[in-house]
Amino acid sequence: MSQAEIMTDTTDILYHQRDGVATITLNRPEKMNAFRGQTIVDLTAALTRASKERSVGVIVITGSGQKAFSVGGDIDEMKKLDRKSGKVFCAKLAKLTKSFLSCPKPIIAKVNGYCLGGGNEIQIFCDLTIASDRSRIGQVGPKIGAAPLWGGTQILPLLVGLKKACEITFVNKQYTAQEAAEIGLINQSVPEAELDQTVENLCRELLHRSPQALHLARKALYEGLMPRIQKGLKDLEKIYGSAEALEGMNAFLEKRPPDWKKFR
């Protein structure tokens, strides 16, 4: 391994740094890269590290394996959360959000496979998203008694407009990568065989841009988002441990339709 190459593994994240690019890989392929509390901690640490590394000019976030970028929160852990532990979980999300928003370098999401729920929120926190044509992208929250309050409800309207953001949030359609690109949810859909090279080319292009200019532009683009996200996380705390959330998550795990009638 050359001095220009650094590889570090944590519990749920792989970190690879080479030639000005830091690649952060969500590494729970057996769970389709669903994230738990530890994943959030590890991802925050990796983003913070890449942000501080002077030799890094671009950050890429991707998922391990061929099935998914990430399918969002790990339901096995989510269903155990109550208001108290949910508050702790949301505090971890708040720290991760600050790492995303304060990062001085461009962040690219490289998506191959399912990118759903909180996984979709991760990709919308990234500045640019390139997805393979076999990817499926969208939100799933209301199907299981949750809602994309971490960043989806705040950022989606900026990307796709309010009407389409409502469709994504309420209807929970899984969009093809081409459809997602057409509505502005991602930047580009490419054949799977071209995904790695397309992202590499984009990294090289960004490395030929002024670091100061990118930093200041990125800071201005995301100015004012954090207070709205913090409000969303406060509302998200109310979902954990609620009867509706438990019904939705249990129905998902039991492979049955949830019974929402008793909550209307």
Rounded to whole angstroms, the Cα distance separating 179 from 169 reads 16
Poorest-confidence range of 3-7, 168-172, 187-191? Answer: 3-7
> What's the pLDDT score for residue 128?
98
pLDDT reading at 1 higher than 70: no
pLDDT at 3 over 60: no
Check pLDDT > 90 for residue 11: no
Contact assessment for residue 235 and residue 149, using Cβ atoms and an 8 Å cutoff: yes
Over residues 29-78, the pLDDT tens digits come to 999 999 999 999 999 999 999 999 999 999 999 999 999 999 999 999 99
pLDDT number for residue 2: 42
Instruction: Say how many CA atoms lie within 13 Å of 248 toward its Cβ.
Output: 19
On the question of pLDDT at 138 being above 50, the answer is yes
- Binning pLDDT at 50, 70 and 90, where does residue 4 land? low
CA distance 237 to 83: 6
Can you tell me which residue has the tokens 């220009």? 4
Q: What is the pLDDT of residue 9?
A: 74
pLDDT over threshold 50, residue 257: yes
Q: What is the mean pLDDT of residues 132-154?
A: 96
Task: Say yes or no to pLDDT of 208 above 60.
Answer: yes
Q: What's the rounded Cα separation, in Å, for the pair 22 and 38?
A: 20
- Determine the Cα–Cα distance for residues 178 and 190; give it in Å rounded to an integer: 8
Band the pLDDT of 162: cuts 50, 70, 90: very high
pLDDT digits (tens, 9 = 90+) for 83-108: 999 999 999 999 999 999 999 999 99
Using alpha carbons, select from 236, 258, 233 the residue that is nearest to residue 146: 236
- With a pLDDT cut of 70, the percent of the chain lying above it is 97
Segment 201-214 mean pLDDT: 98
For the cut 70, the answer to whether the pLDDT of residue 6 exceeds it is no
Question: How many CB atoms sit inside 10 A of residue 22's CB?
Answer: 24
Percent of the residues in the chain that have a pLDDT greater than 90, as a whole number: 95
CATH fold of 5-193+208-263, please? 2-enoyl-CoA Hydratase; Chain A, domain 1 (3.90.226)
